[in-house]
Structure 1
Amino acid sequence: MKKISFLFLAIGFGFLSMPSAHAQLDNNQSDFDEFMDRSGNRYRSSSGKPGPDYFQNEADYNIKVNLDPETHTVSGQLTMTYTNNSPENLEYIWMYLEQNRFTENSRGTLTTPVEGNRYNGDPLNGVKITNLQAKVKRSTSSKHLITDTRMQVFFNKPLKAKGGTAEVSMNFEFEVPVNGMDRMGRLSTENGEIYAMAQWFPQVAVFDDIEGWNVEPYLGAGEFYYDYGDFDIEITVPHNYVVVGSGELQNPKDVMSSILYDRYKKALESQETVTLISSEEIGESKMFANQSGTQTWNYEIENSRDFAFAASKAFIWDGAQFNLPSGKTGLAHSVYPIESDGQDAWSRSTEYSKASIEYYSEKWYEYPYPSAVNVAADIGGMEYPGLNFCSWKSKGSSLWGVTDHEFGHNWFPMIVGSNERRYAWMDEGFNTFINYYSTKAFNDGEYPTRLNQPRSLTGWFLGDNREGIDTYPDMANLRNLGMIAYYKPALGLVMLREYILGEERFDYAFRSYIEAWAFKHPQPIDFFNHMENAAGENLSWFFKAWFYGTGNIDLAIDSLTEEDGAYFLTVSNKGEIPMPMHMQITFEDGSTEMKSLPVEIWQRRDTWTHKFETEKPIKSIELDPTKILMDVNFSNDKWPLDIYKD
């Protein structure tokens, strides 16, 4: 095993380690055993980067879709150009039909508890597919097989490896559910229906070097995993509907009146929120290019893994310019019904959106899309590239929190394209982590963040029903999902940044990971290997224990004795997860210094004694004075023990 090199701060002490008289004879080497695969291969290197033969297929979509509010139906024509960059010829492809989740006998419906949960869906008829054609060179096939939320599309001739292209086209139609599993659906408001359209069109699954075809069915908690490509989407709606979508509006003059277009241009250049459609102008024909009938909104987005949109005649619409480190700008905008209006509510949505996009772009990686839109809907919070759905009832800190969280998802998993259906923690947890810092930064901490008080979560960590972070989301107890997908992985990254590695080493490694895997598909092992290599630290002991187990941290200061002018400090690891010991020493004269003991002390035994010398008498010692560690027992973190009675 590699020797673990750990940051050691002597801070002015003459330091000597010696074994405790009560030390255990056996060791804890099993806690430090290598569990990661660092061998690497041609596809994924041992340094945690894409290898020289890494491949990724591409899917480009051209879709013309019509939304009929009278029948609540969507009907569309889809043409997908699929490029096979893999080293393998493909006789077929797999596509997802997510709308088939909304049927009486879908796997998702049949695995939903009788009492229901967040992922309830209206039982409808699913999606109807007609006129399917799969073309490879001069051959055309219509053969396809639908199984629940997946469709296998066969080719007459194999799609060649390393650059072969196929064109798959079809018509599709479905009824929009009211309750779409808290991810899409429709909301009735005073001024009309709001349609939140997500996971709405047939979309190809990912073929990769790890699983081959990734074809987990759409059940509920598992979200989505798609390849990247370009989208050209035309959406036809009644003439007085506003349509917002992923990417950039291509034909504003075709759908906006001169009044609305002038405001739209102003918003593109304004640092303050500009009203495009006010509460008094909702649904008025004078705001649109056509005074009757329908009109078509055309959106495009490049190098994206999905496309979502919203449509309604009930929208208030406002926007402002966001600014990126490169000098590029874009449009942050919001749409919401009159019920959500107000300075304590959605009137600040664009302000929040702009702040979020700008912060993450400066801190981690520049936002790649030309717009960012926040949509008020009957959805607690759901993200798609460049577009959020957030609850129309959210206000104040709740609205900031959900807006910032959903926009943060543009980094995880929209830019760094992890598999949400399998590894929820790689998007939810990483995102919750970056949300912690953006919330602290917004208006100098206007709103609180729960991660500021990690020990308020101790109860869950001590519960008998807790599960590991690595539990698949569709298998997890929904009562645990918030912890294992969001909070525990986020707390782990905070500890890694602020306690184990330090901010400079962590930030370099984390930014490097984002850059290496931007618009690609990392696996958990790629993240672990990349962080180890870029930070220069063997972290197997941490990743194994925190991400693949249910053990806890419980470090203790047992005693401090003085003998012949020297101090003997005895510490112990009473939990299942080893950690370095960062302690603050307070002297009788009131001065303080920090002392750090490396994680390697726990390789040998659970108790360790250190001898050190100082000319100043010691008054007290406290482990982790800033309370970064998720230590489940803080009663043993100080010496003397009765200091808690002060």
Structure 2
Amino acid sequence: MAYGKLAIILTCAGCCAVIGAQAAPAPAATDMRQVFAPLSLPDAPNRYNSGSGLPGPDYWQNRADYMIHARIDTSTHVLSGEETLTYTNNSPDSLDTLWLQLDQNIYRPHSRAGFANPERHPHTTEGMVIDSVAIMRHGHEIPLPPRISDTRMQLVLPDMALTHGQKVRIRIRWHYTVPGPWGGRTAVTPARDGEMYEIAQWYPRMCVYDSHRGWDTLPYLGQEFYLEYGDFDYSVTVPWNFTVVGSGALLNPGDVLTRTERARLAQAARSDRTVMIRTAHDVTDPTSHAARTGEKTWRFHMENTRDVSFAASPAFLWDAARIDLPPVHPAPGRKPVPRLAMSVYPREGSGPQAWDRSTEYVKHAIEYFSNQWFPYPWPNAVNVGGHGAGMEYPGIVFDGWEDQNDTLFWITTHELGHDWFPMIVGSNERRDAFMDEGFNTFIDAYASRHFNHGEYAPKHDAEFAPLTGRPADDIIAVLKDPKAPPLMTPAELVPEEYRHPVTYFKSAYGLMLLREQILGPERFDTAFRRYIQAWAYHHPTPSDFFRLMESEAGEDLGWFWRGWYFENDWPDYGISGLSHVNNDARQGTQVRIRTKGRLMLPVTLRLEYVDGTHLDQVIPTESWHLTNTVTATFPGGPAVDRVILDPDHILPDPDRSDNIRRLK
């Protein structure tokens, strides 16, 4: 069956059950026609995005490849860089301008982000300074004057338009001052043994050009980002005593690591247990480095990714263990790369229930999500114990060095889960945050149940406080709050007080209802995996998700999308009658149920007998198509004690006063 209680629980032999609908007054019937009316999704299907929810036969996506050289001046905290951006136009349109994102400009005085979210940006910098921009042609640089507006940069291509299939190479030189610990997306933080640099959203990045709105140039206000996919080669020059970890594979370990460190990494690649690469003793021992003066340049490579980030510090302890997945096979000419779960953190973050266990958590998250949903595509997964931004990037996440116990497990698992949403499945989290935070909260809640026989289950860290009790009861306050925005509200129109209750919790709980109560795990998991596989490294919309889940699961879910995603509807069932057929228990029992809500979720009805046995029956959604009351008939059996609607409190029913009735 398609519903939550997939098997009727029989504790008396030969039982069966029948549901019969009764006529309802016209107003209720009219209301039901509104509840179950066909739902028009925001994006109509076309040859780019098909009616099945899959990419259409003419689906296209542009591409951005980067070569970046960066250097940190630790005396001034200035990060300077030069990038060569190769942009490929796969669209059917001719492009005469390009748009890039300059996220560091949120820290400029009077930035839009400073007004929109003043609590996030209490201090200012000069933002990203663009030193030069040029288009590369035949080995020459042709200067391009940038037009900078807040966090966006527009480049007008000279005497040309970029047509379908053409590429353009742009060289950009830039620098900015790394904010202090208050920087939410890039920061430098003091530690006992030196400063820790967490560098993210740190280079001019291409905006997305797509078939839905052309250039997507929303100003960056400090939350999430939306980017094209491509390959990255990047290098970071730092003082000799720094350790650097970053997205992707380290290409030159022989230049930057000692023989001892390389041997320990090789050991970690064969070990399911955590191996120390740099110990607390190494951090205070100058001879533990490959060089003792000057600077070192660390080189990294990452393929088919939206972004890269890195962390650098002389204070880092570093440990690693193998990820039990097949090696990554990079571009031709490069050797297969073993998968490593890694953590870096300062000495003050170490401890048996603190960052000593971080890599154990990283390893579990990557392996669990890979086996459950979609294989992890990149060579390394890194957890950085820094100032505690709790932020994710492909292959690397930034968490707090003070985190420990369940908090460290939950934040590590959640941030790494973002490698699936939105790093692999590249939804537009700038606009549809529920497809980012909510989908990820959904998968990491199950990861908490799975880890070490439920050591940290259920998930209920501070960020997701609603998951502390019964989710069905906790979500009611959100559903009934007249100020709470629906899930389909554009991301930056969701007030901060509702961001976690709605974007994270309601979205995740909706998927749990869909999986456990509406479709069942087998149908849901098959469809959800198909969604991830079909849209990996692409840009799905909410309409694509809704259509694909219906098509793959074989279920018309318009009523659920309307009630849960476009509205804040809830179920509200009650028992309005209980009697024996012809006053004779041997002939059966009839239960009359009514609905006062607008979300017709399948609901379990339990008949409890005086001998301690019970019989469950699921009232399906279709029962309510033309009526607001149904009658369930149970076969004859023992004497009845009472009947209960939703006995396990699965549904968010705000009024349970009429969910139990005893036979008089």
| TM-score with structure 2 setting the length | 0.91
Q: Match for residue 30 of structure 1?
A: 34
C-alpha offsets along residues 228-250 of structure 1, whole Å, 9 cap, x if unaligned? Answer: 00010100000110100001111
Task: Work out the CA distance in 1 between the residues paired with 2:410 and 2:376.
Answer: 19
Q: CA deviation at 1:136?
A: 6.3
Q: CA deviation at 1:179?
A: 4.1
* 8 Å contact kept, 1:64–1:235: yes
2:392 aligned to which of 383, 386, 394: 383
2:657 alignment partner, SS class: helix
Q: CA deviation at 1:419?
A: 0.8
Q: CA deviation at 1:70?
A: 0.7
Check 1:402–1:629 CA distance in 2 against 1; reply closer, same or farther (3 A cut). Answer: same
* 8 Å contact kept, 1:239–1:285: no
Q: CA deviation at 1:41?
A: 0.7
1:635 alignment partner, SS class: coil
C-alpha offsets along residues 211-260 of structure 1, whole Å, 9 cap, x if unaligned? Answer: 11111001123x00001000101000001101000011111111011121
Give, as a single letter, the amino acid of the residue that structure 2 aligns with 1:153.
L
Q: CA deviation at 1:180?
A: 5.1
* 1:171 and 2:173 are equivalent in the alignment: yes
1:187 aligned to which of 183, 186, 189: 189
Give, as a single letter, the amino acid of the residue that structure 2 aligns with 1:429.
G
Task: Work out the CA distance in 1 between the residues paired with 2:241 and 2:326.
Answer: 37
2:303 alignment partner, SS class: strand
Q: Match for residue 71 of structure 1?
A: 76
- Length, aligned pairs only: 634
* 8 Å contact kept, 2:326–2:338: no
Give, as a single letter, the amino acid of the residue that structure 2 aligns with 1:29.
R
Superposed, 1:439-588 pairs within 5 Å as: 439-448=448-457, 449-450=459-460, 451=467, 453-454=470-471, 455-564=473-582, 565-588=587-610
Give, as a single letter, the amino acid of the residue that structure 1 aligns with 2:422.
P
Check 1:480–1:16 CA distance in 2 against 1; reply closer, same or farther (3 A cut). Answer: closer
Q: CA deviation at 1:68?
A: 1.0
Superposed, 1:352-363 pairs within 5 Å as: 352-363=361-372
* 1:209 and 2:211 are equivalent in the alignment: yes
Superposed, 1:108-507 pairs within 5 Å as: 108-113=113-118, 116=119, 119-120=120-121, 122-135=123-136, 140-179=142-181, 181-221=183-223, 223-282=224-283, 284-324=285-325, 329-448=338-457, 449-450=459-460, 451=467, 453-454=470-471, 455-507=473-525
Q: CA deviation at 1:329?
A: 4.5
Q: CA deviation at 1:486?
A: 0.4
2:339 alignment partner, SS class: strand
Overall identity of the aligned pairs, in %? 39
Q: Match for residue 331 of structure 2?
A: none
C-alpha offsets along residues 601-629 of structure 1, whole Å, 9 cap, x if unaligned? Answer: 22223222234433333333333333332
Task: Work out the CA distance in 2 between the residues paired with 1:325 and 1:613.
Answer: 55
* 8 Å contact kept, 1:24–1:606: no
Q: What is the RMSD of the two structures over their aligned residues, measured on CA atoms?
A: 2.3
* 8 Å contact kept, 1:257–1:286: no
Tell which deviates more after alignment, 30-39 or 597-606: 30-39
2:491 alignment partner, SS class: coil
Task: Work out the CA distance in 1 between the residues paired with 2:62 and 2:179.
Answer: 32
* 8 Å contact kept, 1:260–1:288: no
1:13 aligned to which of 12, 16, 22: 16
Task: Work out the CA distance in 1 between the residues paired with 2:428 and 2:40.
Answer: 19
2:594 alignment partner, SS class: strand
Check 1:29–1:329 CA distance in 2 against 1; reply closer, same or farther (3 A cut). Answer: farther
2:135 alignment partner, SS class: strand
Task: Work out the CA distance in 2 between the residues paired with 1:436 and 1:336.
Answer: 25
Check 1:516–1:619 CA distance in 2 against 1; reply closer, same or farther (3 A cut). Answer: same
Task: Work out the CA distance in 2 between the residues paired with 1:636 and 1:432.
Answer: 32
Check 1:21–1:86 CA distance in 2 against 1; reply closer, same or farther (3 A cut). Answer: closer
Task: Work out the CA distance in 1 between the residues paired with 2:87 and 2:288.
Answer: 39
Q: CA deviation at 1:641?
A: 9.7
Q: CA deviation at 1:278?
A: 1.0
Task: Work out the CA distance in 2 between the residues paired with 1:539 and 1:26.
Answer: 19
Task: Work out the CA distance in 2 between the residues paired with 1:526 and 1:233.
Answer: 34
Superposed, 1:102-113 pairs within 5 Å as: 102-113=107-118
Check 1:365–1:72 CA distance in 2 against 1; reply closer, same or farther (3 A cut). Answer: same
Q: CA deviation at 1:48?
A: 0.3
* 8 Å contact kept, 2:3–2:618: no
* 8 Å contact kept, 1:18–1:611: no
Task: Work out the CA distance in 1 between the residues paired with 2:266 and 2:593.
Answer: 64
Task: Work out the CA distance in 2 between the residues paired with 1:372 and 1:144.
Answer: 36
C-alpha offsets along residues 19-70 of structure 1, whole Å, 9 cap, x if unaligned? Answer: 1687866331101112234852100000000001101111000000001111
Structure 2: any 5+ residue segments left out of the alignment? 329-336, 461-466
Tell which deviates more after alignment, 486-495 or 128-137: 128-137
Q: Match for residue 99 of structure 2?
A: 94
Tell which deviates more after alignment, 54-63 or 31-40: 31-40
Structure 1: any 5+ residue segments left out of the alignment? none
Tell which deviates more after alignment, 362-371 or 574-583: 574-583
Tell which deviates more after alignment, 355-364 or 133-142: 133-142
Check 1:135–1:572 CA distance in 2 against 1; reply closer, same or farther (3 A cut). Answer: farther
